[in-house]
């Protein structure tokens, strides 16, 4: 019973964090949305080596930054029985602009993972390299 109560409490805390409203976009910074799609969980992890407070976005000063995201997705099963694959992706971009909005989007199918940074018009700016996957991520 205690385990069930603790599991429920953890789930409640996790869900309440997801439901929190996004902060106001600082017009003196660039905003990078981390976009998740069905079957994929994409979350912001680090900016320039420092942990971020909210896994849904990055808010960055103009200029060059390294953004790190974690992608978790169902790869259709494996011999070990774990069908979830976890990947760490670094995105390096040297030209974030003041007031601009960007998004990070991922495509994962089987063992193939691709992640892109898009501008506000939806155009791909860069593709991440390399993608590292494994249980440690």
pLDDT string in tens for the chain (137-residue length): 544 444 444 444 444 455 688 888 899 999 999 988 888 899 999 999 999 999 999 999 999 999 999 999 987 765 666 678 899 999 999 999 999 999 999 988 878 889 999 999 999 999 998 788 887 77
Q: Where are the alpha helices (DSSP H) in 51-121?
A: none
Burial-class residue 115 by CB neighbours within 10 Å (0-12, 13-18, 19+). Answer: buried
**Boundaries of every domain in the chain:** 28-133
pLDDT of residue 30: 97
Residue 110's φ and ψ, nearest 5 degrees, are 60, -120
pLDDT of residue 42: 94
pLDDT of residue 6: 45
The answer to whether 115 and 92 are in contact (CB under 8 A) is: no
């Amino acid at each position: 019973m205690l385990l069930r109560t603790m599991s429920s409490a953890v789930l409640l805390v996790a869900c309440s964090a997801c439901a929190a409203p996004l902060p106001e976009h600082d017009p003196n910074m660039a905003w990078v949305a981390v976009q998740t799609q069905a079957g994929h969980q994409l979350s912001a992890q680090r900016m320039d080596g420092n942990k971020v407070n909210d896994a849904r976005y990055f808010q960055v000063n103009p200029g060059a930054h390294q953004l790190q995201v974690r992608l978790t997705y169902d790869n259709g099963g494996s011999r070990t029985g774990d069908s979830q694959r976890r990947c760490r992706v670094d995105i390096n971009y040297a030209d974030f602009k003041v007031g601009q909005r960007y998004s990070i989007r991922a495509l994962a199918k089987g063992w193939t993972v691709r992640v892109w940074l898009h501008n506000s018009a939806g155009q791909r700016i860069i593709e991440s390299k390399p993608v590292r996957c494994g249980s440690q991520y």
